[in-house]
Amino acid sequence: MSVNPTSAEIAEKAATKTVSETVEPQGARAFEPPAQEPAPPRLFEEVLLAVDNVSLRFGGVTALAEVSFDIRKGEIRAIIGPNGAGKTSMLNCINGFYHPSEGKITFRGEARRKMRPYEAASGGIARTFQNVALFKGMSTLDNIMAGRSLKMKANLFWQMLRFGPAMREEVEHRRVVEDIIDFLQIQAIRKTPVGKLPYGLQKRVELGRALAMEPDLLLLDEPMAGMNLEEKEDMSRFILDVNNHFGTTIALIEHDMGVVMDLSDRVVVLDYGRKIADGTPHEVKRDQKVIDAYLGVPH
């Protein structure tokens, strides 16, 4: 059975979020549904991550200025904005690659200012990258296995022998990795060096690598950049499935407004490092400041 939901269906699914249902292909792709009524938004209470008055400066350049928003447990949160608005910088702050010059970030109720990226990772934040950042010399399998690093504990001694606990652990995690490979439908490229894969598959492997960390919060930096329509549909489905099956909270940056509107529960809009809007896709779409930022205002 071929499963290829159209964007309309994705929208529907995003709106209703019926868990783990397979969407039957219906309707022609060419058919664009008329403007829908916004579905009743999903409600999320518990705040997973709060960004509080964060500013980021490089010398004289201000990348972020007093940005505040929160990400709630279980939701899909989109960060949008024109190029150079500071979206990637925001993600970099969240997972500790940059350190905010001011303000604080609270993750699971714990405030922090300075943190190394690997500490963020062990706290349960995973991410993918705008320009694919896979380990090019390694196979798909090894890439995703590398994502299990945090969960693997066998010490050097057993690893030297590749025996006992070390081997048991390898097999155990291999099983988890194979599940992810099945989920993303990349069985055939298991042992291919990722450098040789086409772009769309690389993005998928990268998602797999992030999933292997079993994160609480998954940051996706333009997961659909440079993809064609079908690849975008596939990727959207994976994102929704991850959110539904595993309950993973997702924050994503995306330029394709259709995708953003369909996938996300709430949207925060950045422009020149400042937050200019925050709310449901429906609200944001009508916000005058957002329209100005994207279309420009006559001066």
Using CB under 8 A as the criterion, which residues of the chain lie in contact with another protein when the complex forms?
58, 88, 92, 95, 97, 116-118, 120-122, 126-127, 129-131, 133-138, 142, 145-147, 149-150, 152, 154, 156, 159-162, 166-167, 169-171, 174-175, 178, 209-210, 213
Provide the 8-state DSSP code for 193: B
Torsion angle, alpha carbons of 269, 270, 274, 277, to 10: -10
Tokens of 16: 């209703």
Task: Tell me the closest approach of the beta carbon of residue 235 to another protein, in angstroms.
Answer: 19
Task: Tell me the closest approach of the beta carbon of residue 170 to another protein, in angstroms.
Answer: 6
Q: Considering beta carbons, is residue 127 or 266 the nearer one to another protein?
A: 127
Q: Considering beta carbons, is residue 173 or 266 the nearer one to another protein?
A: 173
Dist. CA 152–CA 132, nearest whole Å: 25
Task: Tell me the closest approach of the beta carbon of residue 255 to another protein, in angstroms.
Answer: 17
Q: Considering beta carbons, is residue 42 or 151 the nearer one to another protein?
A: 151
Q: Is there a contact between 105 and 93 (Cβ–Cβ < 8 Å)?
A: yes
Q: Considering beta carbons, is residue 13 or 173 the nearer one to another protein?
A: 173
Q: Considering beta carbons, is residue 65 or 240 the nearer one to another protein?
A: 65
Q: Considering beta carbons, is residue 48 or 166 the nearer one to another protein?
A: 166
* Sheet of strand 110-112: strand arrangement: 61-72, 47-58, 102-107, 110-112
Task: Tell me the closest approach of the beta carbon of residue 211 to another protein, in angstroms.
Answer: 11
Dist. CA 48–CA 140, nearest whole Å: 31
Q: Is there a contact between 128 and 223 (Cβ–Cβ < 8 Å)?
A: yes
Task: Tell me the closest approach of the beta carbon of residue 196 to another protein, in angstroms.
Answer: 14
Task: Tell me the closest approach of the beta carbon of residue 188 to another protein, in angstroms.
Answer: 15
The angle at the Cα of 101, spanning 96 to 103, to the nearest 5 degrees, equals: 85
Tokens of 17: 């979020």
Dist. CA 88–CA 253, nearest whole Å: 8
Dist. CA 237–CA 222, nearest whole Å: 15
